[in-house]
Every structure is written in C-alpha cells, then in structure tokens.
Amino acid sequence: MIKDRLPNRIFIKLLLGFWLCSSLIIAIVGLLPLLQQSHDRAPLPPHLEKLLERYAERIIDNPEIIQNNQFRRLSHRRDFQGKPIRFYLVNDQGRVINTEKVSRGMRRFMLMAEETSKPISHQFKDELLFGPYNFAVSGKQYSLYGRFNDRHPRPWFFFFAENKLLTLTLAIGLSGLICGLLAWHLGKPLRTLRLSADALANGDLTNRVDYATTKRKDEIGQLAQAFNGMADSVENMVNSQQRLISDISHELRTPLTRLQLALALARKKGQESAETERIGYEAEQLEKMISELLELSKVKLNAHDHKRHLGLAETLGQVLDDAEFEAEQQQKELIIKIDEEIELPLYPKPLSRAIENLLRNAIRYSQSSVSIKAHKAMNIVTIEITDDGPGIDNEQDLLAIFKPFYRPQSARERESGGWGLGLAITEAAVMAHQGKITASNLAPHGLNVTIELPS
C-alpha cells in the first residue's frame, strides 16, 4: 500500500515531464535577455568616471567653449589606452549639442541611463558607452557621455539572444527531443505488451512480457505483472484442458477395445447380424474420432518443443507420394510445385499431418485436379493448396471451418461424415509454427487454402 502512494504514477510522469520541459524552455528563452543585460550593463567604473570628470572640468573652466560653439574640438581625443574616444554633450533639454550625428546605440544608451537615474556603462557589440556625468555651466545643467570602440569577450550563449529565430528553432527541437524521450519511455513497454498479447492470441501460450517491463514502478509495470499472471493462468487452463481430453480419450479406448474384442468373438461364434454389423461400424467410427482427439491434444501440448531446420520438400515427401497415389486412384491430377531449396524451422510430424489433411480433403472434393505450391518471400514460406471442387457456399463457414467439431451446412461437409477435427488439427499444427491459415473460394468454383509460416 505504501508503494502505491509513491509518486511513480504515469500521471505524475506526464505532468512533471511536460511541465518541466515547457518551464525549462520558457526559463531559458526568458532569462537570456536578462543575463545579457546584467552582463553588458554595469555601474560606471571609476577610471571612466574620472575621464568624464576631467573633460567636464575643462568645459567648466572654459565656459566660452559652449557659448562660442567651440566645443566640437573636444568631441575627439586619443588619449585613452590608444583608442579613439568620442564625447557627447547633452543640454538640460536632452539634446546633443556638440554633434549632429548621434548613433542609434547612443540614443538607446541615453534612455537606459535615464531609466536607471545613475551613471552606468554598457557594452554593445563592438563599442562601450558610459555616462552620464552631470555638471553645471553658467547656471545651466549639462550631461556628458563617452563612447569608444571596445570588444569584450562574451559568454557563448549570448549568441542565442542575438539570433532569436535560431533560438526559437532550437527551443522547439529541444522540447521535441525531451517529449520524444518521454514518449519512448512510455511507448516501448506498451509495444512490448501489445506484442505479447498478439503472441498469446496467436497460440503462443509461453510468451511473457520481459523482465525490464515487469520491474517498472508505475502502472505499466503493474499491468505487465498482471498480464503475465493472466498468461500463466490461461496456459495452465488450456494445457489442463488438453490433458483432460487426452486422458479421457485414452480411457475411452479401453472399453472400446473390449467392445471390439467382444464383437470379434461373437462373429467367430457365428452370431453375426445386422445389429452386430452396426455396432462394429460405430465402434470403428469411435476409434477414428478418439484417434483424432488424441492427435489434436498431442499437437497442442507439444506445440513448443524444439523445431528442426529441414527442407520443406524433404519433410513432405512421403505425404506427397501418398497423395499422388490417392489422386491417381480417383483419376485426378495432383500438381506439385515446391522449390527444393526452401528450408525452415518446423515440427515434421505435425506439419506433415496438416498438409495430409488438406490434400486428402482437396482430392476428395475436387472434380479433376488439385495443386500444392510453395514459395518463400521476405522470410515467409507460403503454401497454397487449391482444388476445383464446389468450394464452401457460406462465407462465415470459411472463417470457422478450422474450429474443432465445426461442420458447416454445405454439400462439401455433409458428404464427409467427419467430426470437424481434421482441419482443427491442421490449424493447431500451423499455430504451433507461429503461422496462420486461411481459406477462400475461387471463381467460378473451387477452394484455396493458404498457409504462411515464418522462416
């Protein structure tokens, strides 16, 4: 109960992930101008303040410079660290009176200084501006500003503050990366769960969600653990059911054998009649049905034994010979087109039994020819068995003919006298190979059964 209260929930992860991502991007973008401003703007250094004071004193000592408009010669000096320096004299109305060419940077700086109400210095891209130094001449107030070329080293991240479009692009990319990692963190285990669920639905009862997913501390980990528990229960129930069918079939064989023995003794004593013939016929039918039930249980119980890597033509050799002989006896043609080079991991006996069932059905209901073809493409081996018989009228029956004891109401099955176990055994064998089997009608008549097996 304590673990359930810890902040490991998906809701918390999503909330914190997206909130922190957006907050981080907003903070970085918002702080860049403030960092740049705090780095570029500083209080007026003493040596620059003395420089402004010295020039102001010269003007105060010689007020005729302003009165006779001779102060322009004071605007340029080269005595500050060998760099040309320029001064700007501003009257009490905020007008620069010693030059008519005032740069845009200087105007911006004058506004900054006016807002701060104290002398400051500010580093622009390639120049340093400083001031103001306030003084009075003949009862009038003046302000003195200075500017000289200077490039100070700046932190690398100021590049983003000056290139806003690039900064916006990088911010979008960074947020996409962070959100993508979060989505991957949540999506990967969900894909693992989906694959395990698909495998379980396709008959692979041993498939489980991996250890890394089950050890997660959020709802996905809890779901993975619940899924594995459910899969264990399903596997145990299905195996128990198959074992029960197998055990019952074995037990039924004992009284059936005794019944057949009693019938043989009765016939030997000359006690044969129509009734005993009927009993003998039904006993044979029971024997066949029990044999098919045992075969179905065996295929499903042994569905996950180790496969053998064999050639398809070699594995089906005896089955194809028998089918070819049976077709010749019924004056029908069996066309075989299987590439000798096709190899795949398989269970020889279950697959041979599956193909045998399909070929015998196709030969039984075909009019003149049956074909079996196999080819390999993109790690999938496809086997197609086609006949020119009547097919199956009802489309719904095409989806259900592989279910145990299912017998569609069609001429094809009414004449068979079977129990609907042959095709169920076929499907079980195909599912044991993690493959799939489908049936479809052909035009104008006939049936096609397609098996796809992974190679």
The tokens describing 309, both together, are 């890597």
Q: Could you write out the DSSP letters of every residue in 385-449?
A: EEE-S---S-HHHHHHTTSTT---SSHHHHTT---S-HHHHHHHHHHHTT-EEEEEE-SSS-EEE
Q: Could you write out the DSSP letters of every residue in 326-355?
A: HHHHTT-EEEEEE-TT-EEEE-HHHHHHHH
Report the alpha-carbon distance of residue 15 to residue 46 in Å, rounded: 51
Instruction: Say whether 265 sits in a helix, a strand or coil.
Output: helix
The tokens describing 262, both together, are 């009693």
Q: Which of 289, 403, 414 is nearest to 364 (CA)?
A: 414
In the chain, what's the furthest Cα-to-Cα distance? 158
Instruction: Say whether 128 sits in a helix, a strand or coil.
Output: strand
Report the alpha-carbon distance of residue 20 to residue 22 in Å, rounded: 6
Q: What's the gap between Cα 343 and its chain centre? A: 31
Residues with a known catalytic role: 250
| Structural Rg of the chain based on CA atoms | 46
